[in-house]
Structure 1
Amino acid sequence: MTTTPTGVGTVVSRMRALGAALPQGDGVAVFNRVYLSVTEELERRLAAGAFADTATAGQLAVRFAGRYLTAVGDDAAGRRPPACWRALLRVRGHHDIRGLQFALAGINAHIGHDLALAVVDTCRVADCEPPALEGDFDRIGEVLTGMEVRVREELMPGPDPLERADPLTHLVGSWSLERARDAAWAASRVLWSLRHLEGAYAECAERLDAGVALVGRFLLTPLGDR
């Protein structure tokens, strides 16, 4: 399995290396470009002391990003990544899926699934309860909101193409990073409460993965001619 990064700087370096190795139009590359820019901003805020607990916020950011990097690494090595990431990885070269869809599907998998599990991972390591992370979780969420804004600014068609691409505007309008983040926080609280019940925890995590994967498959509906 891919090694978890040791710091946000390591995360940034690995994302840059991944981006350099992927074709420009690859679906993972599209998401990686957006996520890299947001992670660089997060690194700057951590260095500036913008979090209540810089060390724990950094751990959360690293464990969060590590789940994405592990999913991509496992897929490249022939191992089975989570279902939410398979939704994107299987169609990453599809010509009838727009860059905006790839980016949103990646954000959906990462926020909807990885973030909840990263909160639990961080609480285990830091020996704290999820409420202790809530303030910095929200501060990281503010940075992540920039991911959705950047996606819409850089990958959304202009006004004329939008009139011809109504299915795309419908897909974009049907998904919200803020609601996904709220759901991730709720899921992390549930998972934390089940941490000592191995079977129940595994089932809950599996159902979370399946539900996020279902949304991802809808976001990746091929839309035909560009």
Structure 2
Amino acid sequence: MAQLAQFTTPVDAVVSRMRTLDRTLPERDGLAVFNRVYLAVTEEVDRRLDAGTFPDPEAAITLDVRFAERYLTVAEEGCPPACWRPLLQFRRHPGVRPLQFALAGINAHIGHDLALAVVDTCRTLRCEPADLEDEFDRVGDLLVSMEEAVREDLMPGPDLLQIADPLTHLLGSWSLERARDATWSAARALWALRGLPDLAEEFADRLDAAVGFAGRILLTPLPD
């Protein structure tokens, strides 16, 4: 593996692009809500890379950048895959809460983009998914901790969180840890299918559609 210094600029570049989005998007825009969450995650990954906490910094940085670029393509250029369409369609809906926007973005990015980013990284580094498992798990653990912080920060006050509250019921049906486990399986399947491009494309399209369906449910407008 090459030295870390050769790979720091791409991470800085994606952080810079997310900061630009943070300055330009309206604060309550649904995409802006997710962008703030993802910016915080990427900045933390960058700090941990600087601290040397990843066993293979080249693999971690390549995965981080390939992952981020898929989101940034959606945010900056449009033409989103199915998994991102619900968030972009509902991003200004007054009946959707900020926490819903944040989790719908996490769902799209983890459930679909991360699997494809693992495959992208394997192609770039000429390695197998198993060679990235440590980096995948470390980034995943960070995302889980950030999701917990997001829920605490964006969840309404405890007086609104009765067991029958629609938001409690809706958000309790989705788990980042389950999504992360499914993503790892999807990445391994896509890599195994790389010699069968038609089948790989069909698998990726169905993954995209399924993640988009889950996102649409997460963004169900709720009464005040």
| Fold similarity call, TM over 0.5 | yes
Unaligned runs of 5+ in 1: none
State the 4+ residue runs in structure 1 displaced beyond 2 angstroms. Answer: none
In structure 1, how many angstroms separate the alpha carbons of the residues matched to 2:217 and 2:172?
Answer: 13
Deviates more, 1:107-116 or 1:45-54: 45-54
The offset of 1:20, in angstroms, is 0.6
Matches within 5 A, 1:49-198: 49-75=52-78, 80-163=79-162, 166-198=165-197
Amino acid at match of 1:151: V
* Structure 1 residue aligned with 2:27: 24
In structure 2, how many angstroms separate the alpha carbons of the residues matched to 1:180 and 1:122?
Answer: 20
The offset of 1:146, in angstroms, is 2.3
For residues 51-71 of structure 1, the C-alpha deviation after alignment (integer angstroms, 9 at most, x for no partner) is: 111011100000001100101
Amino acid at match of 1:19: D
In structure 2, how many angstroms separate the alpha carbons of the residues matched to 1:112 and 1:179?
Answer: 10
In structure 2, how many angstroms separate the alpha carbons of the residues matched to 1:140 and 1:17?
Answer: 23
In structure 2, how many angstroms separate the alpha carbons of the residues matched to 1:142 and 1:12?
Answer: 20
For residues 36-59 of structure 1, the C-alpha deviation after alignment (integer angstroms, 9 at most, x for no partner) is: 111111000011111111011100
| Native 8 Å contact 2:71 2:109 kept in 1 | yes
In structure 1, how many angstroms separate the alpha carbons of the residues matched to 2:211 and 2:19?
Answer: 26
Other structure's SS at 1:163 match: coil
In structure 2, how many angstroms separate the alpha carbons of the residues matched to 1:192 and 1:162?
Answer: 42
The offset of 1:164, in angstroms, is 9.0
Task: Tell me which of 36, 44, 69 is aligned to 1:33.
Answer: 36
Q: What's the TM-score, normalizing by structure 2?
A: 0.94
In structure 1, how many angstroms separate the alpha carbons of the residues matched to 2:222 and 2:9?
Answer: 40
Amino acid at match of 1:181: R
| Native 8 Å contact 2:118 2:129 kept in 1 | yes
Q: What's the TM-score, normalizing by structure 1?
A: 0.93
In structure 2, how many angstroms separate the alpha carbons of the residues matched to 1:85 and 1:6?
Answer: 27
* Structure 2 residue aligned with 1:45: 48
The offset of 1:22, in angstroms, is 0.5
* Structure 1 residue aligned with 2:199: 200
Other structure's SS at 2:96 match: coil
In structure 2, how many angstroms separate the alpha carbons of the residues matched to 1:20 and 1:152?
Answer: 23
The offset of 1:118, in angstroms, is 0.2
Query: How many residues in Structure 1 have an aligned counterpart in Structure 2?
Result: 217
Deviates more, 1:201-210 or 1:66-75: 66-75
In structure 2, how many angstroms separate the alpha carbons of the residues matched to 1:33 and 1:117?
Answer: 22
For residues 164-208 of structure 1, the C-alpha deviation after alignment (integer angstroms, 9 at most, x for no partner) is: 971100111111111100000000000000111110011000000
The offset of 1:91, in angstroms, is 0.8
In structure 2, how many angstroms separate the alpha carbons of the residues matched to 1:150 and 1:17?
Answer: 23
Other structure's SS at 1:96 match: coil
In structure 2, how many angstroms separate the alpha carbons of the residues matched to 1:6 and 1:203?
Answer: 34
* Structure 2 residue aligned with 1:212: 211
* Structure 1 residue aligned with 2:4: none
1:15 aligns with 2:6: no
In structure 2, how many angstroms separate the alpha carbons of the residues matched to 1:19 and 1:164?
Answer: 34
Unaligned runs of 5+ in 2: 1-7
